[in-house]
């Protein structure tokens, strides 16, 4: 079995040797951020966008990234070299550090990077979502707190769903790990607030505007259930069609024509 190497505060270590003290505020209070991106054939995808978001999240929570961007890129490139998989997922984590009292952030944050091989989901296989009335705290920050969706996993699995679609005050916002688009009358719509701004979402919107009308606005759950297609986007799954939300089935459970087109567009953006 090939050894996976991680990064922790200046050291590259085998995964089983990468350990952190229990006084870390990420463990004690869930105070921390992360970001995730893919590397394909040694090339990190949309890296500057992910570093932009990572830096923005850190600034909002008052966490200090111990290294400048160019140094972070050097660390990432070395991590890719040490983990020579064709498809590699890298998770950057920044915590509140070793808290002196279990509540106050430390002066120095802990920087962790986890690199693991992964496999894309079949893009031709649509997935089912479960609706969940929920609004994440500080939605513009990619925090470590996933308590609610993890707590609800048994309910999600019980209906055969793969993820959630969040809605609050009648409006949809996002999935637990992706952004949401709906298609109506061959036009593309996506929420304008209350969600984490996805990197894949950003690039897809930029590319789509050349061939399809895209509008960012409030979208109701009712509109979503009446849409022609529903699509999710993320770094882990690229573009996936939604076959069903609760009892509502789209395109007889298969991928729709707009979703297929968006998958092609995103692949072009990555290269």
Task: Determine the Cα–Cα distance for residues 157 and 145; give it in Å rounded to an integer.
Answer: 20
pLDDT at 49 over 90: yes
**Closest-CA residue to 51 (of 39, 34, 63, 64):** 34
**What is the chain's mean pLDDT, rounded?**
96
Task: Determine the Cα–Cα distance for residues 39 and 47; give it in Å rounded to an integer.
Answer: 9
Domains 5-117 and 127-270 share a fold: no
Percentage of the chain with pLDDT > 70? 100
| Of the options 3.30.470.10, 3.90.1010.10, 3.90.870.20, 1.50.10.10, the CATH number for the domain spanning 5-117 | 3.30.470.10
Q: pLDDT per residue over 112-142, tens digit each?
A: 999 999 999 999 999 999 999 999 999 999 9
Crossing angle of helices 257-270 and 199-208, in 10° steps, is 100
Q: Which residue has the higher pLDDT, 260 or 211?
A: 260
Average pLDDT for 7-15:
98
pLDDT band at 209 (very low <50, low <70, confident <90, very high): confident
- The reported pLDDT for the residue numbered 271 is 79
**Closest-CA residue to 67 (of 31, 18, 111):** 111
Total residues found in the chain within this entry:
271
pLDDT at 18 over 90: yes
- The reported pLDDT for the residue numbered 211 is 85
Average pLDDT for 61-69:
97
Model-wide pTM > 0.85:
yes
Percentage of the chain with pLDDT > 90? 96
Q: Which superfamily is assigned to 127-270 in CATH?
A: D-amino Acid Aminotransferase, subunit A, domain 2 (3.20.10.10)
- The reported pLDDT for the residue numbered 41 is 96
**Percent helix, percent strand, percent coil in the chain, to nearest 5:** 30, 30, 40
pLDDT band at 1 (very low <50, low <70, confident <90, very high): low
Of the listed ranges 10-24, 31-45, 205-219, the least confidently predicted one is 205-219
Sorted by where each begins, the domain ranges of the chain are 5-117, 127-270
Q: pLDDT per residue over 161-173, tens digit each?
A: 999 999 999 999 9
Average pLDDT for 219-247:
97
Q: For residue 166, what is the DSSP state? A: E
Average pLDDT for 149-156:
98
Handedness of CA 216, 122, 267, 257 (dihedral sign): negative
Beta bridge partners of 215: 189
């Amino acid at each position: 079995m090939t050894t996976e190497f991680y990064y922790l505060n200046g050291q590259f270590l085998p995964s089983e040797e990468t350990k952190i003290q229990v006084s870390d505020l990420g463990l004690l209070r869930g105070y921390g951020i992360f970001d995730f991106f893919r590397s394909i054939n040694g090339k990190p995808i949309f890296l500057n966008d992910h570093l932009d978001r990572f830096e923005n999240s850190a600034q909002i929570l008052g966490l200090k990234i111990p290294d400048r961007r160019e140094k972070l890129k050097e660390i990432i490139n070395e991590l890719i070299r040490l983990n020579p998989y064709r498809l590699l997922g890298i998770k950057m984590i920044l915590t509140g550090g070793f808290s002196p009292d279990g509540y106050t952030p430390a002066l120095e944050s802990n920087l962790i990077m986890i690199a693991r091989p992964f496999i894309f989901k079949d893009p031709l296989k649509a997935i089912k979502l479960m609706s969940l009335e929920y609004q994440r705290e500080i939605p513009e920050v990619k925090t470590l707190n996933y308590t609610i969706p993890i707590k609800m996993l048994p309910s999600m699995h019980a209906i055969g769903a793969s993820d959630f679609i969040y809605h609050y005050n009648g409006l949809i916002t996002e999935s637990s790990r992706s952004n949401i688009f709906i298609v109506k009358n061959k036009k593309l719509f996506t929420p304008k607030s209350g969600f984490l701004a996805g990197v894949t979402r950003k690039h897809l919107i930029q590319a789509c505007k050349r061939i399809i009308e895209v509008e960012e606005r409030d979208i109701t759950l009712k509109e979503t259930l009446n849409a022609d297609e529903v699509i999710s986007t993320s770094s882990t799954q690229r573009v996936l069609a939604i076959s069903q939300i609760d009892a509502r089935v789209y395109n007889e459970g298969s991928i729709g024509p707009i979703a297929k087109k968006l998958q092609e567009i995103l692949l072009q953006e990555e290269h």
